[in-house]
Amino acid sequence: MTTSRPSPRPQPLRAALLGLALGCGLGGLALLASGAHAALTLRDCADLECGLHQQVRRERAPYQLGFGGALCLLGIGLGLLRAEGPADPE
For 51-80, how does the pLDDT look when each residue is reduced to its tens digit (9 = 90+)? 888 888 889 999 999 999 999 999 998 888
**Confidence at residue 83, expressed as pLDDT on a 0 to 100 scale:** 75
Three-state SS at 33: helix
Backbone angles phi, psi at 47, to 5 degrees: -95, 165
pLDDT digits (tens, 9 = 90+) for 13-46: 888 888 889 999 999 999 999 999 988 887 788 8
> Is residue 86 over pLDDT 60?
no
Q: How far is Cα 45 from Cα 33, in angstroms, rounded to an integer?
A: 23
Q: How far apart are CA 86 and CA 48, in angstroms?
A: 60
Q: How confident is the model at residue 84 (pLDDT cuts 50, 70, 90)?
A: low
- Name which of 67, 88, 78 is nearest 15 in CA terms: 78
